[in-house]
Amino acid sequence: MVDYSFRPVTPADAPMFKAWLAQPHIAGWWRDGESEWALVAGDIENPAINLRIVHAGGIPFAFLQDYDAHHWPMPQYADLPAGARALDTFLGDPAFLGQGHAAGYIAARLRRLRRRHPVILTDPDPANTRAIAAYARAGFRPLKTVPGEDGDPVQVMIHP
């Protein structure tokens, strides 16, 4: 079993983060590196969100964020219980693709989050079958497909 660690994102992560978002396997699911980094950099000190770089064997390879599902206006989570936590992630380093790492580190993070939060949610694009499969292997189940905050459909998944 791989031992995953999660360290806070720092400004020094900008080049790596942007390079990850330039990878073909991420294209279309996240915006460009400059736009996404601007959002992340603006939230580094925000206590409402945990921004993490995921490591396996000391090697950084993924980004994960979790936050109060009701902190920002996100209609896909509006009817879900108070205390629910939302999670978003991407596996950045293509050398780690296809080895079960996404499900592995998501499950590892879930074990920590479940200690404090009754419900964990995520909302991938319904067409992102790779992400949906990784979330399902980590224990999420589909709940509903609805418009997200930008009006595009999202597949809300829940980890009860």
Residue type, 142: P
Confidence (pLDDT) at 121? 96
pLDDT of residue 142: 96
Determine the pLDDT at residue 84. Answer: 92
What's the pLDDT at 144?
Answer: 95
The DSSP code sequence of the chain is ---EEEEE--GGGHHHHHHHHTSTTTBTTB--HHHHHHHHHHHTT-TTEEEEEEEETTEEEEEEEEEETTTS--GGGTTSPTT-EEEEEEE--GGGTTTTHHHHHHHHHHHHHTTT-S-EEE---TT-HHHHHHHHHTT-EEEEEEE-TTSSEEEEEEE-
pLDDT of residue 73: 86
In tens, the pLDDT along 57-79 reads: 889 989 999 999 999 889 999 99
pTM above 0.85, yes or no: yes
Radius of gyration, CA atoms only, the chain = 15
Domain boundaries, the chain: 4-159
d(CA 110, CA 78): 21
| Model pLDDT, residue 28 | 76
Question: What CATH code is assigned to 4-159?
Answer: 3.40.630.30
**Which segments of the chain have a pLDDT < 70?**
1
